[in-house]
Amino acid sequence: MPFVEARRCWERRCSRMVLVLDLLAVTLALSVTQLLWWDAYWRGSVEVVGPLGRLDVGYPAVTLALAVGWWAPLAAARSRHPRVLADGWTPYRRVVVVTTTVFGAMAMASYLFKLEIGRGFLLTAMPLGVALLLAVRWGARRHLRARRRGSALLYRTLLVGDRDHAAHVAERMRRGDWAGHLVVGVATPGIVDDDRIVGAPVLTGRPSIVDAAEEVQADTVILVGPDELTPVELRRVGWDLSERGVKFIIAPTLTGVAPMRLYLQAVAGIPLIHVDHLEMSGGKMAAKRTFDILGSATLLVVLAPVMLAVAVAVKTTSRGTVLYRQERIGLRGRPFRILKFRSMAAEADAGAALAVQQHADELLTKTQDNPLVTPVGRILRKYSLDELPQLLNVLGGSMSLVGPRPHRGWEVERYDLLAQRRLLAKPGMSGLWQVSGRSNLSWDDSVDLDLYYVENWSAAVDLKILVQTVRAVVAPGTDAR
């Protein structure tokens, strides 16, 4: 299959590029270390005590062994495969694990064989090498995602399953375009009303999955949702696809679960996916609250000059109060008063103006050119400066630095059972949907992101969102309003 060979070709090119960059990174890290420890490197030696007696080994030989022992395991960890490079924190974690293992093994060897390797040499090479290797992964990831946004380096994917599950997975693939799955066809049993699903042709009545894959020139097949294949037939499909070089993936119907909550266990050849429950224990809640207090207090001090300048600008350019207070619904449905710098005319909160601010038939949909927003208010909203007073809400405990966006009472009244789970977490100044599209997201998309946060919260997720928030504020783009 030429399309399969094309996929293999670009996968090899990508892996080889990272392989060469890894070699350069390790070489550069060790070369800089040698320059920093010039005297010890060229004049010193390492005494090896073994069965054959004592042997003096020069530092160049130690460096060469370290370079090979550091560079080679990165391939064994599959840290250079395009599938791994595009996957969040996975490539970075694997680099750190491999490096820690290599240097830990060297420390163990030093103890067992009484190697007197300079600690300064190792303590310099390790952090410098990790930094360079992580930079390589970061650059490769950005390059890969940029090429995929340009419709290159994609997996031509065939979805196999019933119509509803296939449509759901196809939509998720569209959102997670960083993974590089271009849905080129959907093979469904029976007859469906649509001839296309998310732009991909629907195939029915094909003799086999392999035939359907060949028809749409797919190099990847994803089995989605309930299917009519028996375990034996499923294995045969996997064998047939493997013989043709087509990747075979099984997508469970479970969605909205972070990898840290999943554990794959094989029991007698059957893969079981364990889903851990998220436990918001007292210790975790206390840690999050402590972080909120320290973070909000620090930001209030640091941003005090900015807030003063904004307050003066609001007061001197339009009639009305500096701060705007509005009732929002917080944790477990409890109302609170949210604080903002006023960005609209003083009479903007009247009932007649509400229709201008927000459409009555769709939640979260705001008008792009709201005539009630003042000129200064447009600038404040674009860069989220109007929300700085919410640091006082965070300090007071009614909000958190990160969490679901708080809504008004009439919005909460329209929640369905799914959206009501947003109220299980304290509302935040920033959240997943704010850094994933802001005003351009639909209501369903924003609910999905908020629920993902509520059900998969961790300190690492909070830190990641805060970093993305800074980037979204500095470069707000056209979706901020």
Is the pTM value of this prediction over 0.95?
Answer: no
Reported as a single tens digit per residue, the pLDDT across 250-309 is 888 777 787 778 888 888 878 888 888 776 667 888 989 999 999 999 999 999 999 999
Q: What is the pLDDT of residue 89?
A: 82
The overall average pLDDT reported for the chain is 83
Q: What is the pLDDT of residue 356?
A: 46
Reported as a single tens digit per residue, the pLDDT across 9-33 is 999 999 999 999 999 999 999 888 8
Mean of pLDDT values over 362-374 = 64
Domain ranges of the chain: 2-149, 155-253, 282-474
Q: Domain 155-253, what fold?
A: Rossmann fold (3.40.50)
Round to whole Å and give the CA distance between 176 and 445.
Answer: 13
Q: What is the pLDDT of residue 437?
A: 64
Is the predicted pLDDT of residue 330 greater than 90, yes or no? Answer: yes
Is the predicted pLDDT of residue 103 greater than 70, yes or no? Answer: yes
DSSP string, 290-349: HHHHHHHHHHHHHTHHHHHHHHHHHHHHSSS-SEEEEEEE-GGG-EEEEEEE--B-TTTT
Helix (H) or strand (E) holding 201: strand 200-203
Is the predicted pLDDT of residue 49 greater than 70, yes or no? Answer: no
Round to whole Å and give the CA distance between 218 and 212.
Answer: 8
Residue 12 phi, psi dihedral angles, 5° rounding = -65, -40
Mean of pLDDT values over 155-177 = 87
Is the predicted pLDDT of residue 60 greater than 80, yes or no? Answer: no
Is the predicted pLDDT of residue 479 greater than 70, yes or no? Answer: no
**316 alpha-carbon distance from chain centroid:** 42
More confident residue, 354 or 195: 195
Is the predicted pLDDT of residue 478 greater than 60, yes or no? Answer: no
Contacts of 359 (CB under 8 A, 6+ apart): 365, 367
Look-up: residue for tokens 């290159």?
152
- By 3-state DSSP, what share of the chain in percent is helix, strand and coil, each rounded to 5? 55, 15, 30
For 212-249, letters b (16+ CB in 10 Å) and e give: bbbebebbbbbbbbebeeeeeeeeebbebbeeeebbbe
Q: What is the pLDDT of residue 360?
A: 40
Is the predicted pLDDT of residue 351 greater than 50, yes or no? Answer: no
DSSP annotation of 428 reads E
Assess contact for 25 and 136: CB atoms under 8 A: yes
